[in-house]
A = this chain, B = another copy of it.
Amino acid sequence: MTNLFFNPVKVFSGRGCVGEYPWKSHGKKCMIVCGSHSARLCGALDDVRDALTAQNIKFIIFDRVEQNPTVETCKEAGDIAREDKVDFIIGIGGGSPLDAAKAAAYFAPNPHLTVETLYDGECKSDPLPVIAIPTTAGTGSEVTQYSVLTCRRIENKKTLKTPKIFPVAALLDAEYTVTLPQSITNATAVDALCHAVEGYLSKGANPVSDALAEKAMFYVGRSLRSLIEGRLDFALRERLLLGSMLAGMVISVTGTCFVHSFGYPFTYFEGLSHGEANACFLPDFAEYTARVAEDKVMRVYRLCGVKTHEEFRSLIERAVPCDWKFDRDAVMKYSRIGGGGGSVNKGLYEPTADDIYNMYKKYII
């Protein structure tokens, strides 16, 4: 029995959608989960506050989500949500706040769960409803059942994965991405492209995920070319946000592959952004996969508007810096951690130990 598709998120889009959304349908009190800066800077936090006030909904704000949020932070947010008896949670931000909002919603009605038992403990009560408002076009978290958290115990990221944490709604307003610096726009776009490409070249791909992936690659891949050429307008931002959401739907079916596994240690230990870390391995992923599925890789390239491995690599490297160099011992450690990730063999091509070494070694000083 193949699970072809399941994605229960109500997806809305358009300028001003936060103001039009029927927040009242979820209750009388909520918690807003966000980081300390960008949700304010982009205007989303103000819009949400205005909308809640207009609909007579009380709210508290948890704005202490760090980049690559820890399980500890999410537990804390969940505890506050429970103590303050909120009915629902609104996540505003890039992947970090959205993933934190989902984990906090999971912790909130389950006080027996601890930082140690989050991943394996029983979910006795359904999580609080989460409404996700992405402010970057990359994560796709607004339509996935994943919450990727930093887990100090294993010195890596680890994903909480359960259909219970699908947001109930995603509100896509590209206005909130306008204030992003170009470097973040590019890095998050590459992250979205990774989701689409990894999902498309995954063993778990099926015709539904492929339909969504093809559209996502077209939107994001072509937009990446425009970004590099300096053509960045509102219409492009809308296409990126849409493509990013579509790519999120893709990985809700397929999960990710080794690009994500390999990249996580670069983020955990070296502080690369998620998009930058993924960019380091995306061209290799496509090239290795072409050994077993050349046609499908060529379709990826066509959809992105390039023709060859070299052109695709150049597209990624021009969008995001990929010339990082680290100490040999460090890179060897990262390759062990990344190469041991759960998604390494999910792709159509399963990398050998040699392949993994070869992909990491170019990052040795």
Q: A residues within 8 Å of B by Cβ? A: 1-14, 16-17, 20-21, 172, 207-208, 210-212, 214-215, 219, 242, 245-246, 249
CA distance A242 to B209 in the complex (A): 12
Known contacts A207-B242, A211-B215; is A8 also within 8 Å of B8 by CB? yes
Selected contact of A3 from candidates B12, B16, B242, B246, CB within 8 Å: B12
Please name 11 pairs of A and B residues whose Cβ atoms are closer than 8 Å in the assembled complex, sorted by A. Answer: A1-B14, A3-B10, A3-B11, A3-B12, A4-B242, A6-B8, A6-B10, A7-B7, A8-B8, A212-B212, A214-B214
Does the CB pair B17–A13 fall under 8 Å? no
Chain B residue at minimum C-beta to C-beta distance from A6? B10
Q: Determine chain A's interface SS by DSSP, over half rule.
A: mixed
Does the CB pair B17–A11 fall under 8 Å? no
> What residues of B have a CB within 8 angstroms of the CB of A14 in the complex?
1-2
Does the CB pair B13–A4 fall under 8 Å? yes
Known contacts A211-B212, A211-B214, A215-B207; is A21 also within 8 Å of B1 by CB? yes
How many chain copies does the complex carry?
A: 2
CA distance A246 to B10 in the complex (A): 18
Does the CB pair B11–A5 fall under 8 Å? yes
> What residues of B have a CB within 8 angstroms of the CB of A208 in the complex?
11, 212, 215, 246, 249
Chain B residue at minimum C-beta to C-beta distance from A21? B1
- A-B complex: 9 closest residue pairs judged by Cβ atoms: A211-B215, A8-B8, A4-B11, A1-B20, A1-B17, A6-B10, A5-B11, A211-B211, A2-B14
Does the CB pair B219–A215 fall under 8 Å? no
Does the CB pair B4–A12 fall under 8 Å? yes
Does the CB pair B13–A2 fall under 8 Å? yes
CA distance A261 to B80 in the complex (A): 53
CA distance A1 to B51 in the complex (A): 14
> What residues of B have a CB within 8 angstroms of the CB of A11 in the complex?
3-6, 208
Q: Nearest Cβ in chain B — how far from A177, in angstroms?
A: 16
CA distance A1 to B47 in the complex (A): 14
> What residues of B have a CB within 8 angstroms of the CB of A13 in the complex?
1-2, 4
Chain B residue at minimum C-beta to C-beta distance from A8? B8
Chain B residue at minimum C-beta to C-beta distance from A4? B11
CA distance A1 to B16 in the complex (A): 7
Known contacts A4-B172, A16-B1, A172-B4; is A211 also within 8 Å of B10 by CB? no
CA distance A3 to B242 in the complex (A): 13
Chain B residue at minimum C-beta to C-beta distance from A169? B6
> What residues of B have a CB within 8 angstroms of the CB of A1 in the complex?
12-14, 16-17, 20-21
> What residues of B have a CB within 8 angstroms of the CB of A207 in the complex?
215, 219, 242, 246
> What residues of B have a CB within 8 angstroms of the CB of A9 in the complex?
5-6
CA distance A21 to B2 in the complex (A): 11
> What residues of B have a CB within 8 angstroms of the CB of A214 in the complex?
211, 214-215
Select the residue from A3, A5, A214 with max chain B CB neighbours within 10 A: A5
Select the residue from A17, A172, A210, A211 with max chain B CB neighbours within 10 A: A211
CA distance A349 to B321 in the complex (A): 47
CA distance A8 to B246 in the complex (A): 16
